[in-house]
Amino acid sequence: MRTHRSPFALTRLVVAGACLGVAMAAVATPAVAAPAVATPSFSKDITRAAPAVPPFKTRVLVENLEHPWSIAWLPNGEMLVTERGGALRRISRDFKLDPRPIEGLPTNIAVGGQGGLFDVIVHPDFGRNGLVFIAYAEGELSGRMASSGTAVARARLDGQRLTDISVLFRMQPKSRGGRHFGGRLAFDQGGSLYLTLGDRGEEDRAQKPNDHAGAVIRIPHHGEGRPDVFSRGHRNIQGAAIHPQTGELWTHEHGPQGGDEINVVRGGRNHGWPTITYGVNYVTGTKIGEGARKAGLEQPVHVWVPSIAPSGMAFYRGAAFPSWQNSLLVGALRAQSLSRLTLEGDRVVSEERLLVGEVGRIRDVRVGPDGLVYLLTDESAGRLIRLEPR
């Protein structure tokens, strides 16, 4: 398969009005030599029955979280949890939820629809610098002239307060509406930070070279330097994780009606939305774009038809579930399940659907420092749930 470099890979683009000197810059790094997957696997073809007795039991650790979105661990074993309504909460090592939200969040978090406070991630060297990073919808979601877009801020966690807060990236241009913000964060092994963005419900924006919508943004090491567009052509990425062996960024995104995808995201690549997709239009079921393939546009690793509405994902590298080594765990909102995908290199060779209808809409999936699996459920009384060996 030929290696394709999209036009934006060599062109620096600046959006008028970009804040704090943050410009839209395209990646200038050559595309990774490894070819994209030629033929994706399809969930309907490789899904196998879950074991009658799964190797885990579920334990509810925390209840009454308001639409929780993301989990992060501090070095002392405490946890941070975001709530979409705009609160950052602390959970003790014995899983007591602090009733006081952490203060100092940005004051212009746009809450409504799918918008609000999204991911939280702790700097790899948090023990030395105390830095955390948050993704959120910035702006307004109500009023005749309202507009919003996804932003990333860096701050120092000092007890129950964020200090020294600075905005590293602001999506441009902002837009009206409350859909498709993306909002996942991931650090690669070199310390660069990745932010996933959605198309904001305006699908053609994902192919516009002077628009952040539908892109993955790379923020350089320590947040010092100009963010750039790492990849383009995404619909709404709700899961992101770094492969523990290859160091590459894997993401999954919501398709339209059908066609949810897992992608290996490489610099300078175009993932095709809405020119190509395995999904169809809602209601009418009509074709979108030019079909499922086009020369020069990337193919996904895996496709779910029908859609599961994936959210949150993690590679499993713990010792608690030995049979889950080389697995990718993916939560699902619509399907209300946890998918365990078995990997061979960049190929998905099998899928198990776990917890189907048992715990509700799964928003986030993480593997804790203890090797156990932690889930967040997306509801007004959301829960933190742990999977433990039987």
- pTM score, whole prediction: 0.91
What is the reported pLDDT for 12? Answer: 33
Percent of the chain with pLDDT over 70: 90
What one-letter code names the amino acid at 382? Answer: G
- 105 and 88 Cβ atoms separated by less than 8 Å: yes
d(CA 282, CA 287): 10
How much is the average pLDDT of 190-210?
96
For residue range 44-63, list pLDDT tens digits in order: 999 999 999 999 999 999 99
Q: Is the pLDDT of residue 36 over 60?
A: no
How much is the average pLDDT of 307-313?
97
Taking residue 35's Cβ as centre, other Cβ atoms within 10 Å add up to: 14
Identify the structural domains of the chain with CATH numbers, from first to last: 7-39+64-300 (2.120.10.30)
What is the reported pLDDT for 371? Answer: 97
What is the reported pLDDT for 140? Answer: 84
**Nearest alpha-carbon partner for 348 in 339, 338, 359:** 339
Confidence of residue 143 (pLDDT cuts 50, 70, 90): confident
User: CB-hemisphere CA count at 13 Å for 316?
Assistant: 23
What is the reported pLDDT for 144? Answer: 74
What is the reported pLDDT for 221? Answer: 80
What is the reported pLDDT for 22? Answer: 43
Q: Is the pLDDT of residue 31 over 70?
A: no
For residue range 20-29, list pLDDT tens digits in order: 334 454 443 4
Q: What is the mean pLDDT of the chain?
A: 91
How much is the average pLDDT of 234-240?
98
What is the reported pLDDT for 34? Answer: 47
- 3-state DSSP: the chain helix, strand, coil percent, rounded to 5? 5, 45, 50
How much is the average pLDDT of 328-337?
98
What is the reported pLDDT for 261? Answer: 98
Confidence of residue 37 (pLDDT cuts 50, 70, 90): low
What is the reported pLDDT for 141? Answer: 81
d(CA 138, CA 280): 30
**Nearest alpha-carbon partner for 46 in 342, 254, 324, 260:** 342
What is the reported pLDDT for 224? Answer: 75
- 218 and 197 Cβ atoms separated by less than 8 Å: no
**Nearest alpha-carbon partner for 334 in 352, 364, 309, 358:** 309
* Preceding peptide of 256 cis, ω within 30°: no
Q: Which sequence positions are flagged as catalytic?
A: 180
How much is the average pLDDT of 352-368?
98
Q: Is the pLDDT of residue 67 over 50?
A: yes
How much is the average pLDDT of 82-108?
97
